[in-house]
Amino acid sequence: MNNDIPHASQLFSIVIDTINLVLQDEAEKIKSVVQLITKSISEDGVVHIFGSGHSHLFAEDMSYRAGGLVPINPILDIGYTLMGGPPSRSSRLERLDGFANAVLDGYEFHPGEVFIVMSQSGRNPGPVEAALYAKKKGLQVVAITSVEQSKGQSSRHSSGKKLYEIADLVIDSHVPTGDAAVEIKPGQPKVSPISTIVGSSILQGIVAEVAGAIVEKGEVPPIWLSSNIDGGDEHNNKMALKNWSEFQ
């Protein structure tokens, strides 16, 4: 530990330990998700990703980014973000039955595609409803969630279900209940949430494994390049024209 920055050192240690726990306990589930995504992409499917509140960041992080897979469909609605209104709005809408259905009605889905739902607690109507919607559409639902927190809290959805109870595959993020990880002083709230760091690590690990699986088949994985390097724009335009015209 660096005594000059003890709290930051504690945070980094917790993050590393948590990611190592994911590697240890969730490897087989990650492999299963990779197989589903690789198969779907080979059949011209796309990977859909949903998150509400701060979890919407995962959809942005996976979409149209250097080093990322091209066939990603981020489910983004401003009502689920902290933009364009008070921060509490996204919390209220995340807890509103029916809102996720209305959002998802505006997207196109095909049976067999992979639908990833990101949620730390897995208890609110937003992610629960999204998972139920995707299941009805015949999609393979993957949940990345804190099973510890979810099991310790009641559902807020009218079905009484939580995300991990609905998904076809569940990757446990092993993030502690409440998300914040560092105790500054006993009796005071912990600081420094880690669900974004851990969740992004899991997702980008999946991206790397999918790319590796496609290369092993003797094919070239559909990957975006940085538009800030020479040749990036030309490469990305070819990817867009070949795969999804909306990226032109």
**Cα–Cα distance between 115 and 134 in angstroms, integer?**
7
CB 50 within 8 A of CB 79: no
Residues 6+ apart with CB under 8 A from 188: none
Residue 65 has pLDDT above 90, yes or no: yes
pTM of the model: 0.94
Quick one: pLDDT band at residue 245, thresholds 50, 70, 90?
very low
Mean pLDDT of 215-223: 95
227-236 as b/e: b if 16+ CB within 10 A: eeeeeeeeeb
Give the type of residue at 191. Answer: V
Residue 153 has pLDDT above 50, yes or no: yes
Residue 246 has pLDDT above 90, yes or no: no
The per-residue pLDDT for 243 is 60
What mean pLDDT is reported for the chain? 94
Look up residue 117 and give its two tokens. Answer: 């739902």
CB 135 within 8 A of CB 127: no
**Cα–Cα distance between 65 and 214 in angstroms, integer?**
19
The per-residue pLDDT for 1 is 67
